[in-house]
Every structure is written in structure tokens, then in C-alpha cells.
Amino acid sequence: MSAVAGSGSLPIARLTIQPFVGADVRDLRALAAALTARVGELAVAPPAELPRSAFDARRGQYRAERLLDLLESREHEHVLGVTAADLYAGGLNFVFGIATPAGRKALVSLARLGMGTDRAGYAARMLKEAVHELGHTLGLGHCADARCVMRFSNSLADTDAKGDSLCARCRKRLESREALA
């Protein structure tokens, strides 16, 4: 059992960022730099092709679940897919990201995160959406705390309004999950 140290850190021993072709190298560097303080080891894999089978030509979007399925995570490793493509899932027009609940795979789309903001705002949104999806992989659901990173974002305004860390209650939930594991 590892303690959940620091307000921003996540109990993830090893995280691989798996970019899809089209994700900007500068964006990936910024995201990796922001995440490195939050997890144990962090690596960035070479970009993977975006599978045509996940593309919906009528919508011009990729199906998030399909991309998530294609991500591979080795044992004891979390994987975070990062794509510049716009994603949809289920009945939602678009999603900022998706994750396997209490699993090891998460996926974020950068497609909408740069809208109406500057470089710093964009970087902040990338980090929040990545931490949010990783939170789901750790078994956390959505949180009602307005500042908590696990608050659901339905819009960029929601993303901007929340923080990039877990609230005290979510941290407690994680600690009790780990104690049970």
C-alpha cells in the first residue's frame, strides 16, 4: 500500500503516454512535464496510427471507446492515450476524454482544449482532463466539489472552473481503496 502523497499526486507507479499520430509534440511535452510530478515513472511512447476503424466519416469524429480498446497497457502500468482528433462516445456529441473505470487505460482528446484560451490555459486544461481520466482509472467517480478535478466537465468553462487536483474527499476515497487492495 502506497500513501497518496501531496495534493496533486496519484497512486500510479508507472504511466505511459501513448500519443496518436497528429498530436503535437510540443503539447505532449507540456503534458508530460506537468504529469511527471504526479506519478511514479513516466514515459512517452512513439505515436500510434489512428485506426480508420474508429473513424465515423459522417460525424468527422473518432469513437472514443474504440480508441480506448486499442490502447495496450502492460501489467502494473497505466496508459494515457492522447489524440488531436475529436472524440465522441455513446450518446454524447463529444467527449474530452474517456477511461476504463478502475482499469488502467485512459484517453484524452486535445481537439477542443485550445479554443478561446492562451498557451497556459491550454496546458492547464490538458492537465485537468488527463488527471480526471486517470482518476477514473483509479476507481473514482464524478465529484460534486466545484474545485475538484473529478468534477464532470460538460464544457470548457467547466474545465476552467475546476482545479487540477483531487479534493480531500476523493483523496480519502483513494486511500481507502488502496487499503482494501
Q: According to the binding rule CB under 5 A, does residue 145 interact with Zn ion?
A: yes
Residue 150 binding Zn ion, by CB under 5 A? yes
C-alpha cell of residue 175: 486511500
Binding of residue 134 to Zn ion (CB under 5 A):
no
In this chain, which of 50, 82, 143, 174 binds Zn ion, going by CB under 5 A? 143
Handedness of CA 137, 78, 87, 122 (dihedral sign): positive
- Cβ distance to Zn ion smaller for residue 2 or 154: 154
With contacts defined by CB under 5 A, how many residues of the chain interact with Zn ion?
6
76 and 41 in contact (C-beta within 8 Å)? Answer: no
How does 84-111 read in b/e, with b if 16+ C-beta sit within 10 Å? bbbbbbeeeeebbbbbbeeebbbbbbbb
From the candidates 65, 133, 175, 178, give the one annotated as an active-site residue: 133
> Residue 113: which residues within 8 A CB-CB, separation 6 or more?
96, 122, 125, 126, 129, 156, 159
Least Å distance, CB 140 to Zn ion, is 7
Window contacting Zn ion (CB under 5 A); options: 14-22, 86-94, 117-125, 147-155: 147-155
Q: Is 133 annotated as catalytic?
A: yes
Kindly tell me which residue out of 134, 148, 164, 165 binds Zn ion, with binding defined by CB under 5 A. 148
Interface with Zn ion, residue 106, by CB under 5 A: no
Phi, psi of 160 (to 5 degrees): -65, -30
Written as one letter, the residue type at 88 is: Y
- What residues are annotated to the active site? 133
Residues contributing to the site for Zn ion (CB under 5 A) = 143, 145, 148, 150, 167, 170
